[in-house]
Structure 1
Amino acid sequence: MKGQAVLIVLLVVVVALGFGLSIISQSVTDVEIAGQSEESARVFNAAEAGIENALGNLTIGTYYIDVGEDEARIEVNYEVTGERFLEGVYSENDVAMVVLGDGVAHTLTIEWADGDCTGAVAESGGTPASLLITVINSDNEITRYGLNACALHGDNDMVDISDSGLDGYLRTYSLVVTDIDELVKIRPIYNQAKIRVTGAPSLPVQVYGIDSRAQSPTLESKAIQVSRTVPATPAIFDYVLFSGINIVQ
Protein backbone atom coordinates (compact mmCIF):
# COMPACT_ATOMS: atom_id res chain seq x y z
CA MET A 1 0.00 0.00 0.00
CA LYS A 2 2.81 2.40 0.88
CA GLY A 3 4.46 1.62 -2.44
CA GLN A 4 1.25 2.38 -4.30
CA ALA A 5 0.84 5.67 -2.43
CA VAL A 6 4.38 6.72 -3.31
CA LEU A 7 3.76 5.79 -6.95
CA ILE A 8 0.57 7.84 -7.03
CA VAL A 9 2.37 10.83 -5.49
CA LEU A 10 5.17 10.57 -8.04
CA LEU A 11 2.63 10.33 -10.85
CA VAL A 12 0.84 13.45 -9.62
CA VAL A 13 4.18 15.31 -9.38
CA VAL A 14 5.15 14.28 -12.91
CA VAL A 15 1.78 15.37 -14.31
CA ALA A 16 1.93 18.70 -12.46
CA LEU A 17 5.50 19.28 -13.59
CA GLY A 18 4.58 18.53 -17.19
CA PHE A 19 1.62 20.88 -16.99
CA GLY A 20 3.78 23.63 -15.50
CA LEU A 21 6.46 23.22 -18.15
CA SER A 22 3.78 23.36 -20.83
CA ILE A 23 2.49 26.66 -19.46
CA ILE A 24 6.02 28.10 -19.28
CA SER A 25 6.77 26.93 -22.82
CA GLN A 26 3.53 28.44 -24.13
CA SER A 27 4.28 31.73 -22.36
CA VAL A 28 7.76 31.87 -23.90
CA THR A 29 6.29 31.11 -27.32
CA ASP A 30 3.67 33.84 -26.92
CA VAL A 31 6.36 36.36 -25.96
CA GLU A 32 8.46 35.38 -28.98
CA ILE A 33 5.49 35.68 -31.33
CA ALA A 34 4.57 39.07 -29.86
CA GLY A 35 8.15 40.25 -30.31
CA GLN A 36 8.26 39.01 -33.89
CA SER A 37 4.92 40.68 -34.69
CA GLU A 38 6.12 43.97 -33.23
CA GLU A 39 9.38 43.79 -35.19
CA SER A 40 7.52 42.90 -38.37
CA ALA A 41 5.17 45.87 -37.92
CA ARG A 42 8.10 48.26 -37.34
CA VAL A 43 9.84 47.06 -40.50
CA PHE A 44 6.64 47.33 -42.55
CA ASN A 45 6.06 50.87 -41.27
CA ALA A 46 9.63 51.74 -42.27
CA ALA A 47 8.99 50.44 -45.80
CA GLU A 48 5.85 52.60 -45.90
CA ALA A 49 7.99 55.60 -44.91
CA GLY A 50 10.07 54.96 -48.02
CA ILE A 51 6.92 55.04 -50.15
CA GLU A 52 5.83 58.31 -48.54
CA ASN A 53 9.25 59.86 -49.17
CA ALA A 54 9.12 58.81 -52.80
CA LEU A 55 5.61 60.19 -53.34
CA GLY A 56 6.76 63.50 -51.89
CA ASN A 57 9.48 63.80 -54.54
CA LEU A 58 8.81 61.74 -57.65
CA THR A 59 12.30 61.76 -59.12
CA ILE A 60 13.68 58.68 -60.86
CA GLY A 61 16.58 57.12 -58.96
CA THR A 62 17.60 55.00 -55.97
CA TYR A 63 17.49 56.45 -52.46
CA TYR A 64 18.37 55.42 -48.89
CA ILE A 65 16.93 56.57 -45.56
CA ASP A 66 17.12 55.43 -41.92
CA VAL A 67 13.97 55.13 -39.82
CA GLY A 68 14.29 55.12 -36.02
CA GLU A 69 17.37 55.66 -33.87
CA ASP A 70 20.30 53.66 -32.48
CA GLU A 71 19.57 49.94 -32.07
CA ALA A 72 16.00 50.42 -33.31
CA ARG A 73 17.19 51.98 -36.57
CA ILE A 74 15.87 50.34 -39.74
CA GLU A 75 17.54 50.77 -43.11
CA VAL A 76 15.23 51.60 -46.01
CA ASN A 77 16.12 51.77 -49.67
CA TYR A 78 13.61 52.70 -52.34
CA GLU A 79 13.76 53.01 -56.09
CA VAL A 80 11.64 55.22 -58.34
CA THR A 81 11.29 54.15 -61.97
CA GLY A 82 9.29 55.62 -64.84
CA GLU A 83 7.26 54.23 -67.74
CA ARG A 84 6.87 56.29 -70.90
CA PHE A 85 3.51 54.83 -71.86
CA LEU A 86 0.11 54.60 -70.23
CA GLU A 87 -1.88 51.39 -69.84
CA GLY A 88 -4.71 50.56 -67.51
CA VAL A 89 -8.38 49.74 -67.06
CA TYR A 90 -10.63 52.78 -66.67
CA SER A 91 -14.24 52.74 -65.53
CA GLU A 92 -16.92 54.41 -67.59
CA ASN A 93 -16.48 58.21 -67.32
CA ASP A 94 -13.10 57.96 -65.57
CA VAL A 95 -10.23 59.91 -67.13
CA ALA A 96 -6.89 58.66 -68.42
CA MET A 97 -4.47 61.58 -68.72
CA VAL A 98 -1.40 61.64 -70.95
CA VAL A 99 1.17 64.26 -69.97
CA LEU A 100 2.99 66.07 -72.77
CA GLY A 101 4.60 69.48 -72.25
CA ASP A 102 8.06 68.42 -73.44
CA GLY A 103 8.02 70.77 -76.43
CA VAL A 104 8.01 67.87 -78.89
CA ALA A 105 5.38 66.85 -81.44
CA HIS A 106 4.24 63.24 -80.99
CA THR A 107 2.10 60.72 -82.79
CA LEU A 108 0.05 58.95 -80.16
CA THR A 109 -1.17 55.41 -80.72
CA ILE A 110 -4.35 54.97 -78.69
CA GLU A 111 -5.60 51.39 -78.34
CA TRP A 112 -8.70 50.50 -76.39
CA ALA A 113 -11.55 48.11 -75.61
CA ASP A 114 -12.09 44.41 -76.12
CA GLY A 115 -15.01 42.21 -77.07
CA ASP A 116 -16.96 42.72 -80.31
CA CYS A 117 -19.62 44.98 -81.74
CA THR A 118 -22.43 42.44 -82.05
CA GLY A 119 -25.69 44.17 -81.12
CA ALA A 120 -23.93 47.38 -80.06
CA VAL A 121 -26.18 50.22 -78.94
CA ALA A 122 -25.20 53.70 -77.75
CA GLU A 123 -26.06 53.27 -74.09
CA SER A 124 -24.25 52.37 -70.89
CA GLY A 125 -23.19 48.72 -71.02
CA GLY A 126 -24.55 48.30 -74.54
CA THR A 127 -21.30 48.49 -76.49
CA PRO A 128 -17.52 48.39 -76.17
CA ALA A 129 -16.44 51.84 -74.98
CA SER A 130 -16.31 54.93 -77.13
CA LEU A 131 -13.72 57.58 -76.28
CA LEU A 132 -14.02 61.30 -75.66
CA ILE A 133 -10.56 62.85 -76.13
CA THR A 134 -9.59 66.36 -75.04
CA VAL A 135 -6.28 67.94 -76.09
CA ILE A 136 -5.17 71.07 -74.21
CA ASN A 137 -2.24 73.23 -75.35
CA SER A 138 -0.06 75.82 -73.62
CA ASP A 139 -2.38 78.63 -74.77
CA ASN A 140 -5.29 76.89 -73.01
CA GLU A 141 -6.86 76.10 -76.36
CA ILE A 142 -8.90 72.90 -76.43
CA THR A 143 -9.48 70.40 -79.22
CA ARG A 144 -11.91 67.52 -78.78
CA TYR A 145 -12.39 64.22 -80.57
CA GLY A 146 -15.08 61.57 -80.27
CA LEU A 147 -14.24 58.00 -81.32
CA ASN A 148 -16.52 54.98 -81.50
CA ALA A 149 -15.22 51.43 -81.26
CA CYS A 150 -18.40 50.28 -83.02
CA ALA A 151 -20.62 51.77 -85.74
CA LEU A 152 -22.55 54.29 -83.66
CA HIS A 153 -22.07 57.45 -85.72
CA GLY A 154 -25.78 57.58 -86.51
CA ASP A 155 -26.54 57.70 -82.79
CA ASN A 156 -23.92 60.14 -81.48
CA ASP A 157 -22.26 61.84 -84.50
CA MET A 158 -18.83 60.64 -83.33
CA VAL A 159 -16.26 59.05 -85.65
CA ASP A 160 -16.48 55.28 -86.13
CA ILE A 161 -13.05 53.59 -85.95
CA SER A 162 -12.54 50.24 -87.67
CA ASP A 163 -8.76 49.65 -87.34
CA SER A 164 -7.93 46.75 -85.01
CA GLY A 165 -5.37 47.13 -82.24
CA LEU A 166 -2.62 44.74 -81.17
CA ASP A 167 -2.44 42.43 -78.14
CA GLY A 168 -6.18 41.90 -77.97
CA TYR A 169 -7.21 45.55 -78.22
CA LEU A 170 -10.36 45.99 -80.29
CA ARG A 171 -9.48 49.36 -81.83
CA THR A 172 -6.49 51.63 -82.51
CA TYR A 173 -6.30 55.29 -83.48
CA SER A 174 -3.35 57.58 -84.31
CA LEU A 175 -3.53 61.10 -82.90
CA VAL A 176 -0.96 63.74 -83.83
CA VAL A 177 -0.19 66.29 -81.10
CA THR A 178 1.91 69.41 -81.59
CA ASP A 179 4.91 70.76 -79.72
CA ILE A 180 2.71 73.17 -77.73
CA ASP A 181 0.16 70.59 -76.61
CA GLU A 182 0.32 69.92 -72.86
CA LEU A 183 -2.29 67.30 -71.95
CA VAL A 184 -4.42 64.63 -73.57
CA LYS A 185 -7.41 63.47 -71.52
CA ILE A 186 -9.21 60.29 -72.56
CA ARG A 187 -12.61 59.38 -71.13
CA PRO A 188 -14.39 56.11 -71.98
CA ILE A 189 -18.17 56.28 -72.27
CA TYR A 190 -20.83 53.55 -72.51
CA ASN A 191 -18.50 51.05 -70.82
CA GLN A 192 -15.24 50.57 -68.99
CA ALA A 193 -12.17 50.20 -71.20
CA LYS A 194 -8.64 48.97 -71.07
CA ILE A 195 -6.61 51.74 -72.69
CA ARG A 196 -3.01 51.83 -73.88
CA VAL A 197 -1.26 54.97 -75.14
CA THR A 198 2.23 54.99 -76.64
CA GLY A 199 4.07 57.75 -78.47
CA ALA A 200 6.54 58.28 -81.26
CA PRO A 201 8.95 59.70 -80.31
CA SER A 202 8.72 58.41 -76.73
CA LEU A 203 6.46 60.27 -74.33
CA PRO A 204 7.52 61.89 -71.06
CA VAL A 205 7.13 59.64 -68.01
CA GLN A 206 3.47 58.71 -67.55
CA VAL A 207 3.61 56.25 -64.63
CA TYR A 208 6.01 56.12 -61.70
CA GLY A 209 6.84 52.80 -60.06
CA ILE A 210 8.09 52.75 -56.46
CA ASP A 211 9.79 49.76 -54.83
CA SER A 212 10.56 50.26 -51.12
CA ARG A 213 12.51 47.69 -49.06
CA ALA A 214 13.25 47.83 -45.32
CA GLN A 215 15.46 45.60 -43.15
CA SER A 216 16.02 45.62 -39.40
CA PRO A 217 19.25 44.67 -37.56
CA THR A 218 17.63 41.26 -36.88
CA LEU A 219 17.32 40.80 -40.67
CA GLU A 220 13.54 41.07 -40.61
CA SER A 221 12.66 42.53 -44.03
CA LYS A 222 9.61 43.86 -45.84
CA ALA A 223 9.01 45.16 -49.37
CA ILE A 224 6.20 47.33 -50.78
CA GLN A 225 5.56 48.18 -54.42
CA VAL A 226 3.20 50.88 -55.68
CA SER A 227 2.63 52.75 -58.93
CA ARG A 228 1.48 56.32 -59.38
CA THR A 229 0.05 57.95 -62.48
CA VAL A 230 -0.10 61.68 -62.96
CA PRO A 231 -3.32 62.83 -61.24
CA ALA A 232 -6.23 63.68 -63.54
CA THR A 233 -8.85 66.35 -62.95
CA PRO A 234 -12.32 65.05 -62.05
CA ALA A 235 -14.18 63.65 -65.06
CA ILE A 236 -17.06 66.10 -64.50
CA PHE A 237 -14.94 68.82 -66.14
CA ASP A 238 -14.86 66.87 -69.41
CA TYR A 239 -18.59 66.61 -70.03
CA VAL A 240 -19.56 68.06 -73.40
CA LEU A 241 -22.07 67.34 -76.12
CA PHE A 242 -20.52 66.08 -79.34
CA SER A 243 -22.06 67.06 -82.68
CA GLY A 244 -19.73 66.11 -85.52
CA ILE A 245 -16.61 68.26 -85.23
CA ASN A 246 -18.50 71.11 -83.58
CA ILE A 247 -18.76 71.19 -79.81
CA VAL A 248 -21.74 72.59 -77.92
CA GLN A 249 -20.93 73.18 -74.24
Structure 2
Amino acid sequence: MQRGQTALIALLVLTIATTVGLSLVARSTTDISMTRTLEESARAFSAAEAGVEVALKTGAAITTASDSELGTTYTAMVSAIRGTETSPLVFPSKTPAGDTTTVWLADHDANDAIDDAFPPKYPSLSSVSVCWSKESDLEIPAIVVTILYKESTDVSGNPYRVAKAAYDPDGARANNFSDPGAFSGGCGDGKTTYRQEITFASFTPAIDPAADVLIALRIRPVYYPAQLAVQPVGQQLPVQWNQITSVGQTASGVNRKIVVNQAYKSPSSVFDAAIYSQQDFSHLN
Protein backbone atom coordinates (compact mmCIF):
# COMPACT_ATOMS: atom_id res chain seq x y z
CA MET A 1 0.00 0.00 0.00
CA GLN A 2 2.79 2.45 0.93
CA ARG A 3 4.66 1.50 -2.25
CA GLY A 4 1.55 2.30 -4.30
CA GLN A 5 1.14 5.66 -2.59
CA THR A 6 4.81 6.44 -3.16
CA ALA A 7 4.52 5.59 -6.84
CA LEU A 8 1.38 7.72 -7.14
CA ILE A 9 3.09 10.69 -5.47
CA ALA A 10 6.13 10.28 -7.70
CA LEU A 11 3.90 10.16 -10.77
CA LEU A 12 2.06 13.29 -9.59
CA VAL A 13 5.33 15.14 -9.01
CA LEU A 14 6.58 14.05 -12.44
CA THR A 15 3.35 15.24 -14.07
CA ILE A 16 3.58 18.63 -12.38
CA ALA A 17 7.25 18.98 -13.30
CA THR A 18 6.51 18.04 -16.90
CA THR A 19 3.64 20.56 -17.07
CA VAL A 20 5.79 23.31 -15.61
CA GLY A 21 8.62 22.44 -17.97
CA LEU A 22 6.36 22.47 -21.01
CA SER A 23 4.84 25.81 -19.96
CA LEU A 24 8.31 27.31 -19.57
CA VAL A 25 9.30 26.02 -23.00
CA ALA A 26 6.09 27.42 -24.52
CA ARG A 27 6.62 30.74 -22.78
CA SER A 28 10.22 30.86 -23.95
CA THR A 29 9.10 30.10 -27.51
CA THR A 30 6.46 32.84 -27.30
CA ASP A 31 8.98 35.34 -25.92
CA ILE A 32 11.41 34.53 -28.73
CA SER A 33 8.63 34.89 -31.31
CA MET A 34 7.54 38.24 -29.86
CA THR A 35 11.14 39.46 -29.76
CA ARG A 36 11.62 38.53 -33.39
CA THR A 37 8.36 40.24 -34.35
CA LEU A 38 9.36 43.41 -32.52
CA GLU A 39 12.81 43.35 -34.13
CA GLU A 40 11.30 42.88 -37.59
CA SER A 41 8.81 45.67 -36.94
CA ALA A 42 11.57 48.03 -35.78
CA ARG A 43 13.65 47.24 -38.88
CA ALA A 44 10.66 47.87 -41.14
CA PHE A 45 10.00 51.20 -39.41
CA SER A 46 13.67 52.16 -39.78
CA ALA A 47 13.46 51.39 -43.49
CA ALA A 48 10.30 53.50 -43.82
CA GLU A 49 12.02 56.37 -41.99
CA ALA A 50 14.93 56.12 -44.42
CA GLY A 51 12.46 56.45 -47.29
CA VAL A 52 10.98 59.58 -45.70
CA GLU A 53 14.43 61.14 -45.23
CA VAL A 54 15.41 60.53 -48.86
CA ALA A 55 12.07 61.86 -50.15
CA LEU A 56 12.39 64.98 -47.99
CA LYS A 57 15.87 65.66 -49.38
CA THR A 58 15.09 64.98 -53.04
CA GLY A 59 11.40 65.87 -53.19
CA ALA A 60 10.90 62.89 -55.51
CA ALA A 61 9.27 59.50 -55.20
CA ILE A 62 11.38 56.39 -54.62
CA THR A 63 10.38 53.30 -56.58
CA THR A 64 12.38 50.73 -54.59
CA ALA A 65 15.56 51.11 -52.59
CA SER A 66 17.37 48.72 -50.28
CA ASP A 67 19.41 48.94 -47.10
CA SER A 68 22.03 46.20 -47.13
CA GLU A 69 22.92 46.68 -43.45
CA LEU A 70 19.33 46.19 -42.26
CA GLY A 71 18.36 43.75 -45.00
CA THR A 72 15.30 45.83 -45.81
CA THR A 73 13.74 47.65 -48.74
CA TYR A 74 11.59 50.76 -48.90
CA THR A 75 9.41 52.68 -51.32
CA ALA A 76 8.21 56.26 -50.97
CA MET A 77 5.44 58.09 -52.79
CA VAL A 78 5.20 61.89 -52.89
CA SER A 79 1.75 63.38 -53.50
CA ALA A 80 0.96 67.07 -53.98
CA ILE A 81 -2.06 67.91 -51.81
CA ARG A 82 -4.43 70.60 -53.06
CA GLY A 83 -8.18 71.19 -52.93
CA THR A 84 -10.60 71.13 -55.87
CA GLU A 85 -14.30 71.83 -56.37
CA THR A 86 -15.07 68.10 -56.15
CA SER A 87 -12.46 67.19 -53.52
CA PRO A 88 -12.14 69.73 -50.69
CA LEU A 89 -8.87 70.31 -48.87
CA VAL A 90 -9.23 68.76 -45.40
CA PHE A 91 -6.49 69.52 -42.91
CA PRO A 92 -4.99 66.44 -41.22
CA SER A 93 -5.67 67.61 -37.66
CA LYS A 94 -7.79 70.09 -35.73
CA THR A 95 -6.57 73.65 -35.35
CA PRO A 96 -6.48 74.78 -31.69
CA ALA A 97 -8.42 77.88 -30.70
CA GLY A 98 -6.25 80.95 -31.24
CA ASP A 99 -3.91 79.22 -33.70
CA THR A 100 -3.91 79.98 -37.41
CA THR A 101 -4.03 77.63 -40.38
CA THR A 102 -2.78 78.93 -43.72
CA VAL A 103 -4.40 78.09 -47.06
CA TRP A 104 -2.07 79.09 -49.87
CA LEU A 105 -3.66 80.92 -52.80
CA ALA A 106 -0.33 81.38 -54.62
CA ASP A 107 2.29 78.94 -55.86
CA HIS A 108 5.76 78.45 -54.38
CA ASP A 109 8.93 78.27 -56.44
CA ALA A 110 11.71 75.68 -56.21
CA ASN A 111 13.17 77.53 -53.21
CA ASP A 112 9.78 77.51 -51.41
CA ALA A 113 9.42 81.27 -51.92
CA ILE A 114 5.93 82.64 -52.64
CA ASP A 115 5.32 83.42 -56.31
CA ASP A 116 3.30 86.65 -56.08
CA ALA A 117 4.33 88.13 -59.43
CA PHE A 118 1.81 89.68 -61.79
CA PRO A 119 -0.23 88.54 -63.66
CA PRO A 120 -2.18 86.28 -61.26
CA LYS A 121 -1.72 82.54 -61.75
CA TYR A 122 -5.23 81.71 -60.48
CA PRO A 123 -7.49 84.34 -62.11
CA SER A 124 -10.59 82.12 -62.06
CA LEU A 125 -10.49 81.46 -58.30
CA SER A 126 -13.53 83.63 -57.58
CA SER A 127 -14.27 82.30 -54.10
CA VAL A 128 -13.50 79.58 -51.57
CA SER A 129 -15.81 77.87 -49.12
CA VAL A 130 -14.39 77.64 -45.60
CA CYS A 131 -15.86 74.88 -43.45
CA TRP A 132 -15.35 74.03 -39.80
CA SER A 133 -16.54 71.51 -37.25
CA LYS A 134 -18.94 71.65 -34.34
CA GLU A 135 -17.26 70.15 -31.30
CA SER A 136 -20.50 69.72 -29.34
CA ASP A 137 -23.74 71.58 -28.60
CA LEU A 138 -21.86 73.52 -25.92
CA GLU A 139 -18.56 73.92 -27.80
CA ILE A 140 -19.23 75.85 -31.00
CA PRO A 141 -16.15 77.41 -32.63
CA ALA A 142 -16.21 80.70 -34.51
CA ILE A 143 -13.59 81.61 -37.12
CA VAL A 144 -11.69 84.72 -38.16
CA VAL A 145 -10.56 84.79 -41.80
CA THR A 146 -7.69 86.93 -43.10
CA ILE A 147 -6.99 87.34 -46.81
CA LEU A 148 -3.50 88.38 -47.88
CA TYR A 149 -3.26 89.71 -51.42
CA LYS A 150 -1.31 92.01 -53.72
CA GLU A 151 -3.31 94.86 -55.25
CA SER A 152 -2.84 95.51 -58.95
CA THR A 153 -3.97 99.16 -58.89
CA ASP A 154 -1.60 100.30 -56.15
CA VAL A 155 0.42 103.44 -56.90
CA SER A 156 2.02 103.90 -53.46
CA GLY A 157 4.75 101.33 -53.99
CA ASN A 158 3.32 99.04 -51.29
CA PRO A 159 0.76 96.80 -53.02
CA TYR A 160 0.26 94.27 -50.20
CA ARG A 161 -3.19 94.32 -48.60
CA VAL A 162 -5.14 92.54 -45.86
CA ALA A 163 -8.89 91.86 -45.71
CA LYS A 164 -10.66 90.31 -42.74
CA ALA A 165 -14.00 88.69 -41.93
CA ALA A 166 -15.36 86.77 -38.94
CA TYR A 167 -18.17 84.22 -38.62
CA ASP A 168 -19.89 82.72 -35.59
CA PRO A 169 -22.68 80.10 -35.66
CA ASP A 170 -23.58 80.91 -32.03
CA GLY A 171 -25.86 83.94 -32.18
CA ALA A 172 -25.91 84.24 -28.38
CA ARG A 173 -22.36 85.59 -28.35
CA ALA A 174 -22.27 89.39 -28.68
CA ASN A 175 -19.15 89.70 -30.83
CA ASN A 176 -20.54 91.30 -34.02
CA PHE A 177 -19.41 88.32 -36.09
CA SER A 178 -21.50 87.35 -39.11
CA ASP A 179 -23.58 84.19 -39.33
CA PRO A 180 -22.15 81.45 -41.56
CA GLY A 181 -23.87 80.75 -44.85
CA ALA A 182 -24.77 77.18 -43.86
CA PHE A 183 -25.22 75.56 -40.45
CA SER A 184 -24.96 71.93 -41.61
CA GLY A 185 -23.25 69.80 -44.20
CA GLY A 186 -19.89 71.58 -44.10
CA CYS A 187 -17.77 70.86 -47.17
CA GLY A 188 -19.27 67.39 -47.53
CA ASP A 189 -16.14 65.77 -46.11
CA GLY A 190 -17.86 64.21 -43.10
CA LYS A 191 -15.70 66.12 -40.61
CA THR A 192 -17.09 69.66 -40.85
CA THR A 193 -20.47 71.21 -40.04
CA TYR A 194 -20.52 74.92 -40.84
CA ARG A 195 -19.83 76.48 -44.22
CA GLN A 196 -19.09 80.02 -45.38
CA GLU A 197 -18.32 80.98 -48.96
CA ILE A 198 -15.65 83.68 -49.08
CA THR A 199 -16.30 85.70 -52.25
CA PHE A 200 -13.32 87.94 -52.92
CA ALA A 201 -15.26 90.55 -54.89
CA SER A 202 -17.62 91.13 -51.92
CA PHE A 203 -14.92 92.79 -49.80
CA THR A 204 -14.45 96.56 -49.63
CA PRO A 205 -12.43 97.43 -51.57
CA ALA A 206 -13.26 94.54 -53.88
CA ILE A 207 -10.58 91.94 -54.51
CA ASP A 208 -10.33 90.94 -58.17
CA PRO A 209 -8.60 87.54 -58.60
CA ALA A 210 -8.23 88.24 -62.32
CA ALA A 211 -6.07 91.31 -61.59
CA ASP A 212 -4.97 91.15 -57.93
CA VAL A 213 -2.62 88.39 -56.80
CA LEU A 214 -4.18 86.26 -54.06
CA ILE A 215 -1.48 85.10 -51.65
CA ALA A 216 -3.02 83.29 -48.70
CA LEU A 217 -6.13 82.69 -46.65
CA ARG A 218 -5.48 82.56 -42.90
CA ILE A 219 -8.14 80.85 -40.75
CA ARG A 220 -8.16 81.18 -36.95
CA PRO A 221 -10.69 79.28 -34.81
CA VAL A 222 -12.02 81.25 -31.85
CA TYR A 223 -13.37 79.93 -28.51
CA TYR A 224 -12.84 76.23 -29.36
CA PRO A 225 -10.63 74.11 -31.63
CA ALA A 226 -12.01 73.18 -35.03
CA GLN A 227 -11.47 70.78 -37.89
CA LEU A 228 -11.02 72.92 -41.00
CA ALA A 229 -11.67 72.26 -44.68
CA VAL A 230 -11.58 74.49 -47.75
CA GLN A 231 -13.32 74.03 -51.11
CA PRO A 232 -12.37 76.33 -54.01
CA VAL A 233 -14.85 77.65 -56.57
CA GLY A 234 -13.85 78.27 -60.17
CA GLN A 235 -10.33 76.87 -60.01
CA GLN A 236 -8.31 74.38 -57.99
CA LEU A 237 -6.09 75.54 -55.14
CA PRO A 238 -2.30 75.69 -55.45
CA VAL A 239 -0.28 72.92 -53.82
CA GLN A 240 -0.68 73.16 -50.03
CA TRP A 241 1.80 70.52 -48.92
CA ASN A 242 3.55 67.38 -50.13
CA GLN A 243 2.45 64.13 -48.52
CA ILE A 244 5.16 61.49 -48.29
CA THR A 245 3.99 57.89 -47.83
CA SER A 246 6.90 55.55 -47.15
CA VAL A 247 6.64 51.77 -46.73
CA GLY A 248 9.48 49.70 -45.28
CA GLN A 249 9.67 45.93 -45.72
CA THR A 250 11.90 43.25 -44.21
CA ALA A 251 13.07 40.09 -45.96
CA SER A 252 10.49 38.11 -43.98
CA GLY A 253 7.67 40.24 -45.36
CA VAL A 254 6.93 42.55 -42.41
CA ASN A 255 5.62 45.92 -43.69
CA ARG A 256 5.34 49.24 -41.86
CA LYS A 257 4.10 52.57 -43.25
CA ILE A 258 4.87 56.17 -42.25
CA VAL A 259 2.99 59.21 -43.59
CA VAL A 260 4.60 62.66 -43.32
CA ASN A 261 3.21 66.00 -44.51
CA GLN A 262 5.85 68.46 -45.73
CA ALA A 263 4.21 71.89 -45.48
CA TYR A 264 5.38 75.30 -46.60
CA LYS A 265 6.47 77.70 -43.88
CA SER A 266 3.93 80.31 -42.80
CA PRO A 267 3.99 83.20 -40.31
CA SER A 268 3.17 82.59 -36.66
CA SER A 269 -0.34 83.37 -35.41
CA VAL A 270 1.01 86.30 -33.41
CA PHE A 271 1.59 88.28 -36.62
CA ASP A 272 -2.14 88.30 -37.37
CA ALA A 273 -2.59 90.80 -34.54
CA ALA A 274 0.42 92.96 -35.37
CA ILE A 275 0.45 96.41 -36.99
CA TYR A 276 2.95 97.18 -39.73
CA SER A 277 4.00 100.48 -41.24
CA GLN A 278 6.76 101.71 -43.52
CA GLN A 279 6.76 104.97 -41.56
CA ASP A 280 6.95 105.92 -37.88
CA PHE A 281 3.91 105.43 -35.64
CA SER A 282 2.40 108.30 -33.69
CA HIS A 283 0.70 107.32 -30.45
CA LEU A 284 -2.46 109.18 -29.46
CA ASN A 285 -3.46 109.20 -25.79
* Aligned 8 A contact 1:134 1:185 in 2: yes
TM-score (norm 1): 0.72
Whether contact under 8 Å (1:81, 1:208) holds in the other structure is yes
Distance 1:110 1:184 in 2: 11
Cα distance between partner residues in 1 of 2:38 and 2:75 = 22
2:167 maps to which of 141, 149, 164: 149
Alignment partner, residue 187 of structure 1? 219
Match of 2:273 in 1: 239
Uncovered stretches (5+) of structure 1, i.e. residues with no partner: 117-124, 242-247
Q: Matches of 2:58 and 2:158 in 1, distance apart?
A: 27
CA contact (8 A) 1:76 1:212 kept: yes
Counterpart of 2:142 in 1: which secondary structure? coil
Amino acid aligned to 1:56: K
Q: Does 1:170 align with 2:202?
A: no
Matched AA of 1:95: T
Residue 217 of structure 1: CA displacement?
0.9
Q: How big is the shift at 1:26?
A: 1.7
| Residue 82 of structure 2: aligned partner | 84
Where in structure 1 do 4 or more consecutive aligned residues deviate above 6 Å?
137-140
Secondary structure of 1:215's partner? strand
What displacement does 1:240 show? 4.2
CA drift at 1:144: 0.7
Q: Are the structure 2 counterparts of residues 137 and 199 from structure 1 closer, same or farther at C-alpha, using a change threshold of 3 Å?
A: farther
Match of 1:96 in 2: 102
Q: Match of 2:100, SS?
A: coil
Map 1:43-58; keep pairs closer than 5 Å. 43-58=44-59
Can you give the 5+ residue segments of structure 2 that lack an aligned partner in the other structure?
84-88, 108-114, 201-207, 276-281
What corresponds to 1:219 in structure 2? 253
Structure 1 or 2: larger strand share? 1
- Count, aligned residues: 228
Distance 1:200 1:36, change over 3 A: same
Secondary structure of 1:231 counterpart: coil
Which residue number corresponds to residue 17 of structure 2?
16
Deviations 1:175-227 (A, max 9, x none): 34357837314132644552415264333321322221111111111122233
The equivalent residue for 2:65 is 65
Query: Structure 1 residues 57, 108: CA separation in 2 closer, same or farther (over 3 Å shift)?
Result: farther
Q: Is the 8 A contact 1:46 1:76 kept in 2?
A: yes
* Pair 10,196 (structure 1): closer, same or farther in 2 beyond 3 Å: same
Q: Which amino acid aligns with 2:106?
A: L
Mapping of 1:131-146 within 5 angstroms? 131-135=145-149, 141-146=159-164
The structure-2 alpha-carbon separation of the partners of 1:221 and 1:56, relative to structure 1 and needing over 3 Å to count, comes to same
- SS of aligned partner of 1:144: strand
CA distance, structure 1, for counterparts of residue 133 and residue 266 of structure 2: 27
Deviation at 1:100, TM superposition (A): 1.2
Percent identical: 22
Structure 2: how far apart are the matches of 1:155 and 1:19? Answer: 73
The whole-number CA distance in structure 1 between the counterparts of 2:48 and 2:133 is: 40
Q: Which amino acid aligns with 1:142?
A: Y
Superposed CA RMSD in Å reads 3.7
Aligned counterpart, 1:121:
none
